[in-house]
Amino acid sequence: MPKAFVLMNAELGSEDSLVNDLKKLDSVKEVYQVYGVYDIVAQVEADTMEKVKETITWKLRKLNGVKSTLTMIVME
């Protein structure tokens, strides 16, 4: 099953609400709030790579509080 990890920078103070919003998305399987260069790590998984890309582009990146993302697609 196609999978990607998305590293996210959040607007200051929006981390908790962003984590809650991410957990509501069907294709998001795991979400972690982390310390370091990035604020949140999300694991996205779907039936096809196209669905993974659509989720990241049109749902995840459009959430309020997302400043930037870096996507790492898992090799199969």
Say how many domains are in the chain: 1
Tens digits of residue pLDDT in 51-66: 999 999 999 999 999 9
The verdict on pTM exceeding 0.85 is yes
Parent domain of 50: 3-73
Tens digits of residue pLDDT in 1-46: 999 999 999 999 999 999 999 999 999 999 999 999 999 999 999 9
Instruction: Please give the single-letter amino acid code of residue 9.
Output: N
Q: Residue 20 belongs to what H/E stretch? A: helix 15-23
Q: Residue 75 belongs to what H/E stretch? A: none
- CATH code where residue 24 lies: 3.30.70.920
